[in-house]
Amino acid sequence: MKEAVLKPDVHAFFDKRTSSVQYIVSDPATKHCAIIDPVLDFDEKSGSTATFNADQILQYVDANGLKVEWILDTHPHADHFSAAQYLKSKTGAQTAIGDRIVEVQELWKRVYNWPDFPADGSQWDRLFRAGDRFNIGALAGHVMFSPGHTLASITYVIGDAAFVHDTMFMPDSGTARTDFPGGSAQQLWQSIQAIVALPDATRIFVGHDYQPGGREPLWETTVAGQKSGNTHVSKCATETEFIAMRTARDKTLPMPRLILAALQVNINGGRLPPAEANGKRYLKIPLDALNGAKWD
């Protein structure tokens, strides 16, 4: 007998500063939940960190009597710090990310010149392989491998909902960039094809909304909505056309303002650098390490 597809409750938290969408996905029957892609606040001008976003998530958890079972990241983010460790310290939940993170760790440990950094994924409680299954209370989830934006990106499919993060954005906003180290426009195209092969009614939840035209932030659509309406997907009939479009667009985008700050935290599972003898933490910013400078 075919298993019934359960419908999780999904609550989104939009972070205006980074245009990121963070989620709580909960099982209405057991009240177990997962947190997806939580943000740790960072103001690069003052070097201050804060937990406004993560605390708002914790408040929702408390107010709704939820039990956090998982803290899930879809990929190593280049535009914000992950709040996975902070939330683990508050909830005791397990952290997880895709198993190809080890390749991203290998790549970035060279950028930061960290020969002793363990590029083995040991910074998370669970590394998901493509096809892996997991549970949130009585809800069944599985993992799709969705590389392209990063080589470790994954999609979490939980009941009738797919958390696609930086593959496709809302239909009027197109797709994610593929020009970070390890990115690939061809792989992104293939990942998108796998996502739009899910049932048409699948709810799609995106990882960012850059509010084209200044509209209100939006984060939920469907597979059918993406197939017919995504400005990048519906405009490109072939993989070749998509690669040409994506590559040309990527050339116009400046690097995210936090990429060099964020990756050193995020390849370490969302841990800030250790405090030095004076009790202060320092980030390491490599010079001339990335292409894609956009001068005035």
Ligand X SMILES: N[C@@H](CCC(=O)N[C@@H](CS)C(=O)NCC(=O)O)C(=O)O
From the CB of 31, what's the least distance to ligand X, in Å? 31
From the CB of 165, what's the least distance to ligand X, in Å? 9
Kindly state whether residue 27 participates in binding Fe ion, applying the rule CB under 5 A: no
Q: Identify which of residues 177 and 203 has a Cβ nearer to ligand X in the complex.
A: 177
Question: Per CB under 6 A, which region of 83-91, 102-110, 122-130, 253-261 contacts ligand X?
Answer: 253-261
Q: Identify which of residues 249 and 271 has a Cβ nearer to ligand X in the complex.
A: 249
Question: Per CB under 6 A, which region of 134-142, 222-230, 249-257, 283-291 contacts ligand X?
Answer: 249-257
From the CB of 143, what's the least distance to Fe ion, in Å? 17
Question: Residue type at 289?
Answer: A
Question: Residue type at 41?
Answer: D
From the CB of 94, what's the least distance to ligand X, in Å? 24
Q: Residue length, the chain?
A: 296
Query: Which member of 9, 106, 256, 271 binds ligand X (CB under 6 A)?
Result: 256
Site string for ligand X, 206-235 (x = CB under 6 A): --x-x-------------------------
Query: Which member of 177, 203, 232, 246 binds ligand X (CB under 6 A)?
Result: 177
Kindly state whether residue 69 participates in binding Fe ion, applying the rule CB under 5 A: no
Q: Identify which of residues 14 and 60 has a Cβ nearer to ligand X in the complex.
A: 14
Residues 67-106 close enough to bind ligand X by CB under 6 A: 78-79
Secondary structure of 169-231 in HEC code, one letter for each residue? CCCCCCECCCCCCCCCHHHHHHHHHHHHCCCCCCEEEECECCCHHHCCCCCEEEHHHHHHHCC
Residues 1-40 close enough to bind ligand X by CB under 6 A: 18
Question: Per CB under 6 A, which region of 64-72, 113-121, 251-259, 288-296 contacts ligand X?
Answer: 251-259
Kindly state whether residue 41 participates in binding Fe ion, applying the rule CB under 5 A: no
Secondary structure of the chain in HEC code, one letter for each residue? CCCCCCCCEEEEEEECCCCEEEEEEECCCCCEEEEECCEEEEECCCCEEECHHHHHHHHHHHHCCCEEEEEECCCCCCCCEECHHHHHHHHCCEEEEECCHHHHHHHHHHHCCCCCCCCCCCCCCEEECCCCEEEECCEEEEEEECCCCCCCCEEEEECCEEEEECCECCCCCCECCCCCCCCCHHHHHHHHHHHHCCCCCCEEEECECCCHHHCCCCCEEEHHHHHHHCCCCCCCCCHHHHHHHHHHHHHCCCCCCCHHHHHHHHCCCCCCCCCCCCCCCCCCCCCCCCCCCCCC
Kindly state whether residue 179 participates in binding ligand X, applying the rule CB under 6 A: no
Residues 153-172 close enough to bind Fe ion by CB under 5 A: 166
Query: Which member of 61, 93, 136, 176 binds ligand X (CB under 6 A)?
Result: 176
Q: How many residues bind Fe ion (CB under 5 A)?
A: 1
Largest separation between any pair of C-alpha atoms in the chain: 62
- Which residue ranges make up the site for Fe ion (CB under 5 A)? 166
- Which residue ranges make up the site for ligand X (CB under 6 A)? 18, 78-79, 166, 176-177, 208, 210, 253, 256-257
